[in-house]
Amino acid sequence: MTDSKYFTTTKKGEIFELKAELNSDKKEKKKEAVKKVIASMTVGKDVSALFPDVVNCMQTDNLELKKLVYLYLMNYAKSQPDMAIMAVNTFVKDCEDPNPLIRALAVRTMGCIRVDKITEYLCEPLRKCLKDEDPYVRKTAAVCVAKLHDINAQLVEDQGFLDTLKDLISDSNPMVVANAVAALSEIAESHPNSNLLDLNPQTINKLLTALNECTEWGQIFILDCLANYTPRDDRESQSICERVTPRLSHANSAVVLSAVKVLMKFMEMLPKDLDYYGTLLKKLAPPLVTLLSAEPELQYVALRNINLIVQKRPEILKHEMKVFFVKYNDPIYVKLEKLDIMIRLASQANIAQVLAELKEYATEVDVDFVRKAVRAIGRCAIKVEQSAERCVSTLLDLIQTKVNYVVQEAIVVIKDIFRKYPNKYESVIATLCENLDSLDEPEARAAMIWIVGEYAERIDNADELLESFLEGFHDESTQVQLQLLTAIVKLFLKKPTETQELVQQVLSLATQDSDNPDLRDRGYIYWRLLSTDPVAAKEVVLAEKPLISEETDLIEPTLLDELICHIGTLASVYHKPPSAFVEGGRGVQHKRLPARAGSGESAESPDVGQAVSAVSDAPPAVIPSQGDLLGDLLNLDLAPPTSNVPPVPSSMQMGAMDLLGGGLDSLMGDESETSASHYRTEVQSPQPPECSERELGGDVGGSPAMGVSLGGAPVGMPAGLGAAPAVGGGLGDLFDLGGGVGVTAGSYIPPKTVWLPAMKAKGLEISGTFARRSGVIHMDLSFTNKAMSVMTDFAIQFNKNSFGLAPAGPLQVLTPLSPNQTVDVSLPLSTTGPVMKMEPLNNLQVAVKNNIDVFYFSCQYPISLLFVEDGKMDRQVFLATWKDIPSENEAQFQIKDCHLNSDAASNKLQGSNIFTVAKRTVDTQDMLYQSVKLTNGIWMLAELRIQTGNPNSTLSVKCRAPEVSQYVYQCYELILRN
Amino acid sequence: MIGGLFIYNHKGEVLISRVYRDDIGRNAVDAFRVNVIHARQQVRSPVTNIARTSFFHVKRSNIWLAAVTKQNVNAAMVFEFLYKMCDVMTAYFGKISEENIKNNFVLIYELLDEILDFGYPQNSETGALKTFITQQGIKSQLQTKEEQSQITSQVTGQIGWRREGIKYRRNELFLDVLESVNLLMSPQGQVLSAHVSGRVVMKSYLSGMPECKFGMNDKIVIDKQGKGGTTDEAGKSELGGSSGKQSIAIDDCTFHQCVRLSKFDSERSISFIPPDGEYELMRYRTTKDIILPFRVIPLVREVGRTKLEVKVVIKSNFKPSLLAQKIEVRIPTPLNTSGVQVICMKGKAKYKASENAIVWKIKRMAGMKESQISAEIELLPTNDKKKWARPPISMNFEVPFAPSGLKVRYLKVFEPKLNYSDHDVIKWVRYIGRSGIYETRC
């Protein structure tokens, strides 16, 4: 038996030789020839030319030969569909063979031949095999239904195979049950809404019975299927858990992980005070630890999952820190994952051990691992306050090793430690400064510069240090440039006398010589601040920073919940939802943890109760009377009349130069004299009370969110709320906001983007955007003909989509579109079209036809398009609805860099039909309660928290259809930022 | 589910390629070769995603096995399957090597067709497979109808791992308790972590369908019996070796699929119908009261920049009547070592430049003894600023007892249909403790 010789035939004319051998009379020779063919096929040679000859060998009673021919058929049938039909007779005959192994082989192979003509012939044999007396044939046939469904789903439905498959769940043979479950689960995945896998307590019971009897693989199929079931109440949930827990002792890690998945999911429904809940928690730890003695690849899968589990339920493994200690011989992927989990489990109780370990790891060989270990030490310091001092001294030890990447990594984390514990460990700065020259990575350089800027007053030669970085300013990465700019401005504000030249230099580098918009804008902002109002500049630039949080790399809770539902699978390995890496519609519907819906007395779970009371604690929010508003206003430093703003030439460059000159000069002088803000306040105070509300809103909007005493610099100025004229056109020009003047508050319309590039559509380019104008949704399209010939006969069609968008009329491109011509069309849309859930939700697939061809593209519309005009909810109704929607439907988002105050935001949002129902102010925080109604009648409730002086606001969205929340957030961001 | 399975040699040439799903094309074969096998960097993860296609791979000697998929499959299952696939191949033709795979490619295709259907793993128990997938090629006509249905019922049945009608003249069974003891110790002799992972491997040559019951000195069981006050026959040590009432706390255990898990869960009794021949009955892990057979005491002193003095003492810590074997101590040396002088009291020690270590071997050593090695390491002066990482000193050994303290109390065999009783079965028990990762930092 040396079959390896088949791999070596590579001479010319081989195909002809094989052909002759295949047609030989001698059985042995035939078999040899087929083996050669398969060997060639394996290494990637094209042997499809031999198709008829190989198929001729199919009629044989030698099972080995038959299997080889079948293997060939599966590979090439698709490329030779007409020839493949030759094989059908043999298949059909084999399906009647007295030997069950042959019957099964035939039906198994037939399912793998993806040729329409053959699938037609497959139906009858498959039907028989599904009812075969032999379980081996039935279990093979069950999988075959899934194969057939993959080729032709309609056929499977029409032939009633799905019902037969469902019947097999009650089969007496456990393996048949398992395969039927696997097949049904797969088919159900491609029909998310079908009720195919109708899981009810009876079927669940059958599955649980089969679970005890079937093979390890079958157990996995059944457990994975069970995980999709949502028990009716906590009792059912408990009884299923009780029957699943024995699986935790299975030798197969996949069985264990799938069981863990079921338990983690169903646990969610158990009341926490139940004894059983505690027992279950205890039972979960040992099997998870045991997974770490499996082979390294499985350890990796297990560790990725444990990472999720410790985030979801830290109590399970909190005493098991030691098992995650890294072994010298662990593969690197295992080491890195263990490290991650160690940090998650670090607590005051075990921190000493953890630190000792981490220090050990920091001397290892693998660079990535060492870096991560150093970073981990920093994270420990931030997480466990008591350990901070030890961590810092460990980091200092490491810096002393002078290993380049260790030093750099250490500096990056020390920066975070400074942020977390300000004014505590500054004594180490000197050591850090010694290593300045060895830093070559942007992140480390940026961190070091930040430290120098932040503690400039304590570092004697801060200016020299920063100046040394400035020499190669343009070769630095953006990260470093930005940090350097800020640091030097900080330095200047702290030591204005010595560093004037330096700041002038960096500002001109940033604004004039750089084409990075972020850098330039930041440069201008500082420039403006410094020149108009250094006090304000101080308050802005040297403002107290919010403390950094303990855990920066936690997985976002909704994603975590979804991933928990995918324990054991690839999604849990990648830490990404399946939709991120699976193509098409298969298996991408989002899974969620079951909600606690207890039976009987336990209905009132503590969490829910708390959430409700938290809401009702809030007094019914009242929009403050005008008087209050005015009162507030008086405390604000409002935009001054134009006369107070220094003259600004309209040319940007020129203006900047002037500004600096004037500004700096005056800075050197008596501060109070030039500090415009004081002066302005006086002017501002007698604000006329009869001022109309409209104007008020505008003025408030004009005051930037960057700081109360910021004065007139319209840094984050919202366009066109009436304030702009008062501030002065020059500034408006400077910040390129002039365009906004005079536009009344309306819904935000994103600029047109190219949806269909000309390359893909034979010269037709389509760009477009969406807009809602007086209650009608419009799709604004620009057609550009970039081809050489005239285009005519345009028409448009939409695919079914989530909100039933459809053209309300035909596409009006009347005149033919000649080359290089562009025509703009506005297509009104209705929302009465056919509905189908899309992924993402706001995806719209469009087909455009012209005289040349039909083109397809997809685009995404802002969901604000669907916000209707009567979306303002009554205050009482709002309150009731807010309470009524369960708290797990609440989603929280951060809106970053929005420099609007609450009234301006409210106004702006109203333009897009987001209505403020009530407003409440607590300290410096304004809370807006807002309602939105979608075209399909879904209501969305939102709470927007805006803190004065903080560019980041928090948005909580509550809705009965929580999948929409994320898109609403996107709209908020879009509207508020533009 | 699994979309395809490929086997490559070390050069990245395809030896076996079996595609189960339409979404996996030939280009996937090349993608893996280019991005993983030929990748310049060492592979950083056993799961790789290339162009929305996920590749799971394991390596056996220099053979790569890769499972490919485009779906969100059960990752743990895929790896378990790949290991199983290796086991099955090993059971059929021995070592997994390029030579063997090429020689048996037809057989491998046949196996792949059987154990993976549309990417779903099917029965992969070698015992069952060998009844109808043979290297000679099955003679379908020669089987009787009964034989056929016996095969299919075994493949799909509840007891898929054993066939009916097995007969032995001598009913015999062998139990091996194989433990590997793992240790990580600080230079000061503090135990940082220690655990025993053990396996109970059984070789059974029993007739019919025997019902077995296995008992050990599991703390939970012993405590329960102690409370009940009933000393049934199971309490007596039947297989010898168990001393007194010592019991051990087992952290966790897993069982071969033949063991009735629900019964273990409810009564903590281990009952099963064993497969024929050799298999692994259970695995377990303990962390409490472990007997650490050896203690390593390192002493490393840097004398200037070009010399290192190392002294290592090992102490054996078990009954003086027992003998440890195959003792090997591996002392890592820096990369810039130029010469080593070793003196040891016992055994042989050698500096192996290619492994950057001093390897000290001792054939046998009795309990409660002590031995010592000292070495002088000459270093080449380097201007490499980076300090030597000082890898831990590792140790290998084999001892004739179970470091966890586990004892087999009984293994009872009942075969109701055939007329042999528990007493007629010849039973053998053996304990072997080996070093797992047994390291002392220095």
- pLDDT category of residue A566 using cuts at 50, 70 and 90: very high
- pLDDT category of residue A897 using cuts at 50, 70 and 90: confident
Mutation to test the A interface, candidates B122, B180, B266, B355, most A Cβ within 10 Å: B122
- With 80 as the cut, is the pLDDT of residue B59 above it? yes
* Cross-chain Cβ contact A224/B106 below 8 Å: no
Nearest CA distance, B6 vs chain A (angstrom): 10
* Cross-chain Cβ contact B79/A179 below 8 Å: no
Cα–Cα nearest to A558, from A891, A226, A814, A867: A891
Return the residue of A nearest to B20 by Cα.
A112
What would the pLDDT profile of B251-291 be if each residue is shown by its tens digit? 889 999 899 988 898 888 899 999 988 899 999 999 988 99
Angle at B35 between CA B83 and CA B66, to 5 degrees: 20
The reply to whether B84 sits in an annotated binding site is no
Mean pLDDT of chain A: 78
- Count of other CB atoms within 10 angstroms of residue B343: 11
Q: What mean pLDDT do residues B174-194 have?
A: 91
- Specify the pLDDT at position A678: 38
- Specify the pLDDT at position A798: 86
What would the pLDDT profile of A860-881 be if each residue is shown by its tens digit? 888 888 888 888 888 878 888 8
- pLDDT category of residue B116 using cuts at 50, 70 and 90: very high
Contacts of residue A62 in chain B, CB cutoff 8 Å? 137
* Cross-chain Cβ contact B17/A100 below 8 Å: no
Whether B48 has its CB under 8 Å from any CB of chain A: the answer is no
The answer to whether the beta carbons of residues A71 and B113 sit under 8 Å apart is yes
- Give the amino acid at A195: N
The answer to whether the beta carbons of residues A940 and A972 sit under 8 Å apart is no
- With 60 as the cut, is the pLDDT of residue B244 above it? no
The span from the CA of A141 to the CA of A126, in Å, is 6
Pairing state of beta strands B307-316 and B370-379?
A: antiparallel
pTM value is 0.68
Whether A319 has its CB under 8 Å from any CB of chain B: the answer is no
* Cross-chain Cβ contact A570/B123 below 8 Å: no
Return the residue of B nearest to A102 by Cα.
B140
- Specify the pLDDT at position A460: 83
Whether A435 has its CB under 8 Å from any CB of chain B: the answer is no
Mean pLDDT of chain B: 87
What the block records as the tokens of A636 is: 């604000």
Confirm whether the ipTM is greater than 0.95.
Answer: no
The reply to whether B307 sits in an annotated binding site is no
Cα–Cα nearest to B281, from B270, B289, B290, B291: B270
- pLDDT category of residue A599 using cuts at 50, 70 and 90: very low
Return the residue of B nearest to A144 by Cα.
B118
Percentage with pLDDT > 90 across chain B: 56
What the block records as the tokens of A151 is: 């080729």
- Specify the pLDDT at position A639: 37
What would the pLDDT profile of A286-322 be if each residue is shown by its tens digit? 999 999 989 999 999 999 999 999 999 999 999 888 8
Q: What mean pLDDT do residues A159-168 have?
A: 90
Q: Which of B70, B135, B197 lies nearest to residue A1, judging by beta carbons?
A: B135
- With 70 as the cut, is the pLDDT of residue B355 above it? yes
Whether B50 has its CB under 8 Å from any CB of chain A: the answer is no
What would the pLDDT profile of A497-544 be if each residue is shown by its tens digit? 888 888 888 998 888 888 888 899 999 999 888 888 888 888 888 888
B177 or A120, which is more confident: B177
- Specify the pLDDT at position A753: 84
The reply to whether B363 sits in an annotated binding site is yes
Whether A8 has its CB under 8 Å from any CB of chain B: the answer is no
The reply to whether B369 sits in an annotated binding site is no
Burial of residue A932 (number of CB atoms within 10 Å: 0-12, 13-18, 19+): buried
Nearest CA distance, B209 vs chain A (angstrom): 17
- Specify the pLDDT at position A634: 37
Percentage with pLDDT > 70 across chain A: 82
Return the residue of B nearest to A178 by Cα.
B122
Q: Which of B103, B118, B122 lies nearest to residue A2, judging by beta carbons?
A: B103
- Specify the pLDDT at position B423: 87
- With 80 as the cut, is the pLDDT of residue A891 above it? yes
- With 60 as the cut, is the pLDDT of residue A344 above it? yes
- With 80 as the cut, is the pLDDT of residue B156 above it? no
Q: Which of B16, B77, B141 lies nearest to residue A254, judging by beta carbons?
A: B77
- pLDDT category of residue A11 using cuts at 50, 70 and 90: low
Whether A276 has its CB under 8 Å from any CB of chain B: the answer is no
* Cross-chain Cβ contact A64/B137 below 8 Å: yes
A819 or B60, which is more confident: B60
- With 50 as the cut, is the pLDDT of residue B24 above it? yes
- With 50 as the cut, is the pLDDT of residue B17 above it? yes
What would the pLDDT profile of A457-468 be if each residue is shown by its tens digit? 888 888 888 888
- With 50 as the cut, is the pLDDT of residue A699 above it? no
Q: What is residue A318's DSSP assignment?
A: T
What the block records as the tokens of A654 is: 């020129």
Q: What is residue A6's DSSP assignment?
A: G
What backbone phi and psi angles, to 5 degrees, belong to B364? -140, 150
Q: Which of A136, A328, A582 lies nearest to residue B70, judging by beta carbons?
A: A582
- Specify the pLDDT at position B286: 92
The terminus-to-terminus CA distance of chain B in angstroms comes to 47
Please name the residues in contact with A240: beta carbons below 8 A apart, sequence gap of 6 or more: A204, A208, A226, A229, A231, A262, A266
Whether A587 has its CB under 8 Å from any CB of chain B: the answer is yes
Touching A: B residues 356-385, CB under 8 Å: 385
- Specify the pLDDT at position B433: 95
- Give the amino acid at A104: A
The answer to whether the beta carbons of residues A849 and A794 sit under 8 Å apart is yes
Burial of residue B406 (number of CB atoms within 10 Å: 0-12, 13-18, 19+): buried
- Give the amino acid at A871: G
Nearest CA distance, B321 vs chain A (angstrom): 32
Q: What mean pLDDT do residues B24-47 have?
A: 87
- Give the amino acid at A772: R
Contacts of residue A140 in chain B, CB cutoff 8 Å? 117
- With 90 as the cut, is the pLDDT of residue A907 above it? no
Touching A: B residues 202-241, CB under 8 Å: none
* Cross-chain Cβ contact A246/B137 below 8 Å: no
- Specify the pLDDT at position A576: 92
The span from the CA of A939 to the CA of A941, in Å, is 7
The reply to whether B348 sits in an annotated binding site is yes
SS3 content of chain B, % helix, strand, coil (to 5): 20, 40, 40
Contacts of residue A361 in chain B, CB cutoff 8 Å? none
Q: What mean pLDDT do residues A758-785 have?
A: 84
- With 60 as the cut, is the pLDDT of residue A630 above it? no
What the block records as the tokens of A756 is: 């269909």
A724 or A931, which is more confident: A931
What backbone phi and psi angles, to 5 degrees, belong to A491? -60, -45
- Specify the pLDDT at position A868: 84
- Specify the pLDDT at position A694: 39
What the block records as the tokens of A687 is: 């604000």
* Cross-chain Cβ contact A249/B74 below 8 Å: no
| Complete domains list, chain B, with CATH | 4-130 (3.30.450.60), 172-225+246-289+411-440 (2.60.40.1170), 294-399 (2.60.40.1170)
- Specify the pLDDT at position A901: 79
The span from the CA of B351 to the CA of B331, in Å, is 9
* Cross-chain Cβ contact B46/A297 below 8 Å: yes
Mutation to test the A interface, candidates B21, B44, B45, B191, most A Cβ within 10 Å: B45
- Specify the pLDDT at position B236: 42
What backbone phi and psi angles, to 5 degrees, belong to B339? -160, 155
A678 or B153, which is more confident: B153
- pLDDT category of residue B366 using cuts at 50, 70 and 90: very high
